[in-house]
Structure 1
Amino acid sequence: MASEAHGAEQAADQGGLVFHPMDQFIVKPLFGGDTVEWYTITNVTLWMGVTILAIIALLVLGTSRRAIIPSRTQSIGELAYGFIYKMVEDVAGKDGVKYFPYIMTLFMFIVFANFLGLLPMAFTTTSHIAVTAVMAFAVFFAVTILGFVLNGPKFLGLFWVSSAPLALRPILALIEIISYFVRPVSHSIRLAGNMMAGHAVIKVFAGFAAITAIAPLSIVAITAMYGLEVLVSFIQAYVFTILTCVYLKDALHPGH
């Protein structure tokens, strides 16, 4: 943020205000070079690794003592565990509890990646569609395969609205099929789009902080947007997870 404001200040001194809020989303090789191959270790790789280490620190190291009077770290871990467990049980039902570890892993990865992305000089991995699409398509294929394994051809009842008039059922079935296959697209774009938009707006306000006349207003705007992003970071992790639970429910109990 400071470097962005400094660059904008230099540009302002030269007679114009120039800053690039989208530069923060550029994937760069971690050890130099210009090309990024599938095996290249990048800033995305680094912050995904940091995210995993942070989750291990909270859920493994932080709860290893299993104290009757929990520490702060253990309390946070237990709170997260209970929160997601209740979500899975309420949305997907008792049958969905056996898939709790996968859903818990998804939530913890997304929420930690979102929060770590708010640190100065950090990289928000969930702002990239390549990351969110992998998670969304993993959920899509998992629940689809699970639906056919558990229900066989009866899983197709998910697309047949038996409560609707007979003449409308084929049309509604087509709409249901289209909406079903759009799920991973909306699932991934919603998360990536929200994270990218919020961080870009913060960078824009940081650029305006270089202008003395509006610097106080810009700082107030940055503070407000940062607070909003903290809330959005949690909400988007929650939305992604609860939609996963809804899709899991459809696989376990198809039909209208």
Structure 2
Amino acid sequence: MLKSFRYPEYIIFLLLLAVACLPAKRLIAQNELQYVGELGVSVGGAQYFGDLNTRGALNTPKPAVGIYYRKYLNDYVGVRAHGRFMQLGYSDVYNKNEFENRRNLSFNTNLWELSLQGDFNFFRFEPGSLYERFSPYLTGGASIFYFDPYAYLNGVKYYLQPMRTEGQGTAMYPDRKPYSLVSYAWLIGGGFKYNLSSKVNVGLEALYRFTQTDYLDDVSTTYAGMAVFPTLANGQPSVAAQLQDRSGAKGAPIGVMGRQRGNSRDKDQYLTIELTISILFTAYHCKF
């Protein structure tokens, strides 16, 4: 008889234990695994457009590498911070235009860039799913970058900004200020991305920059003229004088004071085309 009275106590205990477990089970059911972002690298090429490459030729691509983090806001929109290192350069030897070829200018530069971009997917992009794992996308934003153009003369490398090749900062050209080596650009581009696995995305992206400097190539306005550059003690022209007008290597010099050297109305631009690969990050989010 005593044992029969204990069975209801066991039943009540088991019921209370089950009720206590229900909120925990419900809470687990309401936690959902979501993709929150990705950390990746980009590798590709960079092409300059400006006073030396006026026809938009894609004939001198140089290396570009980068690292980025993209934060997912939803399945269609993300924001990205992207740091890049690249090289840009061009030479008048590639130009068929008679004046540009005779001008005989050239430059190279290393460029460091940090951009903030917004990405918009055309299709729903859901890594890990069977169907929503590919999408073309648009991207746009702004960047800040550092550059420092240089050229070679008789095999020696010279940085061009300190040479003031267009008379910047001289008494004869008080309105021409030395240009800054830091500038910014507006970015627009697009690409394709594909979710290779639950942890990896790959993609291809083209990104165009409209910079706010006309001196990526150290060329912008008119020739300053030889009078701006004092001759050396031995009577020979200075390095700056030789770098401001290099047409003498192809005939009679054309760099007379006031003659067009570049086009100051248009800013310089550049393009990158990159392959991307990234590692995905996940987190649990409560879904109520």
- Which gives a bigger RCO, structure 1 or 2 (Cα 8 Å, sep 6+)? 1
Establish whether TM, by shorter chain, passes 0.5: no
TM-score class normalised by the smaller sequence: under 0.3
Q: Which has the higher strand share?
A: 2
TM-score by length of 1: 0.25
TM-score by length of 2: 0.23
Which structure has the larger Rg over C-alpha atoms? 2
